[in-house]
Structure 1
């Protein structure tokens, strides 16, 4: 399942206004964000649709998709397999406490350079080693 998708927008204020209005009939609403940087909309089932201003210096690309994994071992396996399949490393598997207390993720760049993430945000008794998001 997709956990969140992030797209770059040229005018963050205009896009925020657009999505707030357009999502209202669907029952989706603004969840959190940072003025002038990004906004995240709750689109149901714990999923987010995020907008980020173009040119923001961040580890995201024009399009970022995060897939939910069932375990930290699945995140690790996704990372290894994606690299073997030709992806470029964009952040080894590991805890991301700056995202959330139990957030564990990895990031790869697909053949077109899009930032693809596998993540889980649940407690685990066994931590895998890994680096910070790059």
Structure 2
């Protein structure tokens, strides 16, 4: 199994994120190859299961993803560079951007899509 985390950070903080990836590889015991676009700070980080069971991989992945989003936020980056926000990032979205911001986005979506037909519930549920 493999999953990708796509974050974007200011280019002067790329070394900070790469250092954090190295720390997480050692701490969690997971191979985390990565590459990116040095000119815009968009990083592609791969979480490899190798011989881990699905359960172990899921636990390790959640920890690594959570830590990578924390690092991106800490250095004033974003939780996505070019892959967008979809189902995989939904569980982390409100923690990352805050409840008020998410509520504002819901209101904007509702103004343009009152019937919730465009990508329904793609990023965040429109109805509580």
TM over 0.5: no
TM-score by length of 2: 0.35
Higher relative contact order (CA 8 A, sep 6+): 2
TM-score by length of 1: 0.34
Which protein shows a greater Rg? 2
Greater share of helix residues, 1 or 2? 2
